[in-house]
């Protein structure tokens, strides 16, 4: 049977039951949670979430976009750090950013490179609160944390609706960065798990094909077949003090973007139209 890539990615991330999260850390990141069915609170108009049935019977999940997830990272590496085409430079950036304190010394990046949405519809991308002491590693940490703040907003919505989110699996390209995974764990206050194969959907498709063709001898349960080939390669646990720090920063950031900068964004929109 056919299946959508996100549904298969959920299974390839070891999500076989409700109340687990998956961070699909690609160019346009998606933050998904498995549920036992429709959750009315998450289905309200304006939540910005999409509800889907899973591949297997009686499996369901919601997902929301972090629209400039991996896109912001690639933009910074290619056009600010000037290492276009050099994928290894992500490691150099994260190695330097690991020495920068959580919160990046107050430096903020607003990742609205493709425009704002919702309450921030006029927002635009920018760095704020920088000094002469800040370098590209501070900026890189601010970019990682900026995307993390969007994850925090989604996680708050899921938890408010009764989804506990104690464990989150990270998959796709962004899962390879240990610093990025630890930052997410601290920001979300949840255990983050990584698997050996970062492309969960492709692995799941292979298992399903082999199962359908009868090539998995002695296996009569596709979940058992998946469980036998999905292997953890990393676990990241939250540090309570940093989770509290990020929560305070997040609350200040929300007020900064939605209240303090609202008039400034409107003026910047007008300035963009001046030729």
Q: How many CB atoms lie within 10 A of CB 236?
A: 21
Residues of the chain with pLDDT > 90, as a percent, come to: 57
What letter does residue 273 receive in the DSSP assignment?
T
3-state class of 261 per DSSP?
coil
Q: State residue 69's pLDDT score.
A: 74
Average of per-residue pLDDT across 181-202: 88
Q: Is the pLDDT of residue 25 over 80?
A: no
Q: Is the pLDDT of residue 79 over 70?
A: yes
Q: State residue 104's pLDDT score.
A: 97
Q: State residue 2's pLDDT score.
A: 64
Q: Are strands 29-35 and 21-24 parallel, antiparallel or unpaired?
A: antiparallel
Query: Using 50, 70 and 90 to split pLDDT, how confident is the model at 149?
Result: very high
Orientation of helix 222-229 relative to helix 200-212, angle to 10°: 130
Q: State residue 57's pLDDT score.
A: 87
Q: State residue 68's pLDDT score.
A: 75
Q: State residue 200's pLDDT score.
A: 73
Give pLDDT tens digits for 206-236: 888 888 888 887 777 888 888 888 888 899 9
Instruction: Give the residue with greater pLDDT, 155 vs 6.
Output: 155
Average of per-residue pLDDT across 123-148: 96
Average of per-residue pLDDT across 244-250: 98
Mean pLDDT, the chain, rounded, equals 90
Residues of the chain with pLDDT > 70, as a percent, come to: 98
Q: Is the pLDDT of residue 9 over 60?
A: yes
Q: Which residue has the tokens 């000094």?
A: 131
pTM above 0.95, yes or no: no
Q: Report the distance separating Cα 52 and Cα 4, nearest Å.
A: 10
Q: Report the distance separating Cα 40 and Cα 270, nearest Å.
A: 39
Q: State residue 226's pLDDT score.
A: 86
Orientation of helix 89-97 relative to helix 136-160, angle to 10°: 80
Check if the beta carbon of residue 173 is closer than 8 Å to that of residue 202.
Answer: no
Q: State residue 212's pLDDT score.
A: 85
The string of DSSP letters for the chain reads ----HHHHHHHHTT--SSS-EEEE-SSSEEEEEEESS--GGGGSTTS--EEEE-SSTT-EEEEEEETTHHHHHHHIIIIIS--TT-TTHHHHHHHHHTTSPTTGGG-EEE--TT---GGGTT---EEES--TT--HHHHHHHHHHHHHHHHHHHHHHHHHTT----EEEEESGGGG-HHHHHHHHHHHTSEEEEES-S-HHHHHHHHHHHHHTT-STT---HHHHHHHH--EEEEE---HHHHHHHHHHHHHHHHIIIIITHHHHHHHHHHHT--
Q: State residue 1's pLDDT score.
A: 53
> Closest by alpha carbon to 173, among 202, 153, 141?
202
In angstroms, what CA-CA distances link 68 with 80, 124, 199, 203, 208?
Answer: 16, 12, 20, 26, 32
> Closest by alpha carbon to 191, among 264, 137, 240?
240
Q: State residue 17's pLDDT score.
A: 86
Check if the beta carbon of residue 48 is closer than 8 Å to that of residue 64.
Answer: yes
Give pLDDT tens digits for 37-70: 999 999 999 888 999 999 888 899 998 888 777 8
Average of per-residue pLDDT across 19-25: 86
Query: Using 50, 70 and 90 to split pLDDT, how confident is the model at 174?
Result: confident
């Amino acid at each position: 049977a056919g299946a959508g890539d996100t549904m298969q990615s959920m299974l390839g991330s070891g999500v076989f039951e409700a109340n687990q999260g998956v961070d699909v850390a690609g160019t346009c990141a998606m933050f998904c949670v498995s549920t036992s069915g429709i959750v009315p609170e998450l289905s309200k108009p304006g939540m910005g979430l999409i509800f889907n049935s899973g591949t297997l019977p009686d499996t369901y999940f919601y997902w929301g976009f972090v629209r400039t997830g991996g896109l912001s990272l690639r933009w910074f590496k290619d056009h600010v750090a000037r290492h276009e085409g050099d994928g290894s430079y992500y490691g150099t950036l994260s190695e330097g950013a690991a020495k920068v304190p959580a919160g990046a010394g107050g430096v903020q990046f607003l990742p609205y490179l493709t425009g704002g949405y919702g309450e921030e519809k006029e927002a635009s991308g920018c760095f704020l609160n920088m000094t002469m002491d800040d370098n590209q590693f501070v900026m890189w940490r601010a970019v990682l944390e900026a995307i993390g703040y969007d994850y925090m907003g989604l996680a708050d919505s899921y938890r408010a609706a009764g989804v506990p989110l104690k464990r989150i699996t990270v998959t796709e390209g962004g899962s390879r960065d240990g610093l990025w995974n630890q930052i997410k764990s601290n920001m979300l206050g949840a255990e983050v798990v990584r698997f050996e194969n970062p492309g969960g959907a492709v692995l799941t498709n292979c298992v399903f094909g082999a199962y359908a063709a009868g090539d998995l001898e002695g296996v009569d349960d596709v979940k058992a077949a998946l469980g036998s080939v999905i292997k953890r390669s990393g676990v990241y646990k939250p540090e309570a003090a940093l989770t509290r720090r990020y929560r305070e920063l997040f609350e200040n950031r929300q007020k900064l973007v939605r209240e303090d900068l609202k008039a400034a964004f409107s003026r910047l929109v007008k300035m963009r139209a001046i030729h």
